[in-house]
Chain A
Amino acid sequence: MRTSAAWWLRILLAGARVQLSRGRGGNFLLAAVVTPVFYAVVLVLMARYFGRTSELAPFLVVSPALIGVWAGAILTGAEAVADERGSGTFELLIAAPAPTELVVLGRVGTNTLLSLIAIPLVVITGQLLGAQLAIVDVFAAVLALLGLAISTMAITLIFASTFVLARTTRVFQNVIGFPLYILSGIAFPLALLPDWAQVLSTLVALRWVGELLRAAIRGDSAGVLVPALTAIATLALLYGASGHWLFSRIERAVRANGQVSLGQ
């Protein structure tokens, strides 16, 4: 058991090394860093126009930052498999004894961690434009970010699995984020959503991360901390298990229908 765990860690780190060497700097920086900073500028300036900057600061700053992290993760989830196919390595990964999904997870996990850089950048941008943000409960904020990283990596495995079936991933990767951002209520109070959407939003880990982060900023995280962390942990497990199940099924399906290399 210990040997397997050590081996899985080696595979994850091997995937991380490949991801770091591949760079993909341009696309990734645009999705995870530049776009959230622009979102922050637009939102903060709108709030300033209406004179509600300080009241809305937690939404103005938290939402672009979380969108940046997820956008970067979705992008990498989509491109990791496409990149393996493009390099002609996907067949070799499947023929190797290591679980292919762990290599993919190592790749997307690396970019998820890197995309966390969007958070300080957005906070600084907000500060420069007058959206002052003081994190009262730093402990809760750190836990929220940890939960964000883990749950994002887990859901990205689901995206990566479905991208194994796809010939082109660009359109899907551009569109899939928005319903999740809306359902998570990171840019507005969840009460604005219809009841059925509020029920669905409980399945989106980003919702709980956003709630906990805003509570940490306001300093009233005591009542939110446990339910939010429980929800994030449960959803991360659910995403991870679903991603694993999907990846195994889809890998077998493409081995059966001869689409491992998709005509590369």
Chain B
Amino acid sequence: MAVTAIELRDLRRTYTSSAGLFAQRRVVREALRGVALDVAEGELFGLLGPNGAGKTTLVKILATVLLPTAGTVRVLGHDVVRDAGPVRERIGLVFGGERGLYGTLTGRDTLLFWADLYRLPPSITRRRVDEVLELVGLRDRADERVETFSRGMKQRLHLARGILHEPKLLLLDEPTIGLDPVAANEIRALVRRLNESGMTIFLTTHYMAEAETLCGRVAFINEGQIVLVDSPQALTQAAGEQVVIEASLEPREAARLRAELSGQESITMAERATGDGLISLRVTAPRGRVGALFAALASCSPRRVTMVEPSLEDVYLRLLGERRMRV
């Protein structure tokens, strides 16, 4: 029987702040609203959702940085409120972005610093630091200051720090955010290898393709609530009743098509600029409406039309509503 790495029951987290210049009023915002979730040991689990959905709040609670307002949170069998110490020893935490590093330390000194804080036995510390530097491909630059590293190198160093003490559970909060495609793929390859070696990984991301290729199961979170949990394959198969059409259009025509289709039940759209002055519109609709969809498209003189298999992104858009996707 699989052991539960993460167990959430009716997890709630509210933030209270004050607003107003003269008459201060109390503002209460619910970031998590009754989240229930189980992640088994050995899983690579993805949490997907828009900005402000509660992803980072959830990661911070799992990492004991934030206390839950209500509910139960158990990580590797330990309650994060009562047993924060054992939880901290067994997890690794990696945030995306450049923050979280001392720029004036070298890569090696950074890891030696965290090795002391994670109580690595002194007899193995140097060997382990070399191992993780090798694993993330930073051994050649290990003795240079972190402030001279590229963004991708900093993210790899973050990952090295997160796995230095061989945690049972690794929490990754948008680890590829802001990285170029090559650097992002390097991080994804490392994450996959870590999971294959038996490490449980809880990953939050905006990138649907990342979740689809990496994760065994994903959950969609929106406005502090888990909307759906399943494997990416099951979700995309369930979406097979849908068709996805991608069309490149002049901006004016794209706007006209959006106006024509918006409000129609069961149709979702996402658009992005293609860089050549055109707009790429991705339309998801039930199979029964393909004819009407092509008729509408034909009147807009599209430069290119492609029919593709539904992806996790289409499931996401259908579930969480139409949102503009920026690339």
Contact = CB atoms under 8 A, between A and B. Distances in A.
B300 interface: no
Interface string A63-104: 000000000000000000000000111011111111000010
Interface stretch (A10-18, A116-124, A175-183, A214-222): A10-18
Interface string B230-263: 0000000000000000000000000000000000
Given A10-B116, A98-B116, A91 B101 contact: no
Given A22-B102, A87-B100, A92-B93, A97 B118 contact: yes
Interface residues of A, number: 29
B76 to A, nearest CB: 14
B237 to A, nearest CB: 37
Place the interface of chain B in its size category.
20 to 34
A249 interface: no
Nearest to A86: B99
A260 interface: yes
A17 B109 contact: yes
A198 B199 CA distance: 61
Given A87-B101, A88-B95, A260 B66 contact: yes
A43 B153 CA distance: 53
Nearest to A21: B104
B105 A21 contact: yes
A95 B118 contact: no
Contacts, number: 86
Interface in B146-191: 161
B113 A18 contact: yes
A91 B60 contact: yes
Nearest to A94: B65
State the main secondary structure of chain A at its contact with B: helix
A96 B105 contact: no
A13 B116 contact: yes
Contacts of A21: 102, 104-105, 109
A92 B164 CA distance: 14
Given A94-B65, A95-B65, A255-B67, A14 B99 contact: no
B312 to A, nearest CB: 29
A246 to B, nearest CB: 18
Given A14-B116, A21-B109, A95 B100 contact: no
Interface of A: 7, 10-11, 13-14, 17-18, 21-23, 87-89, 91-98, 103, 252, 255-258, 260, 264
Given A21-B102, A97-B85, 14 more contacts: A10-B122, A21-B104, A87-B103, A89-B99, A91-B100, A92-B95, A93-B117, A94-B64, A97-B117, A97-B119, A255-B66, A256-B67, A257-B16, A264-B99
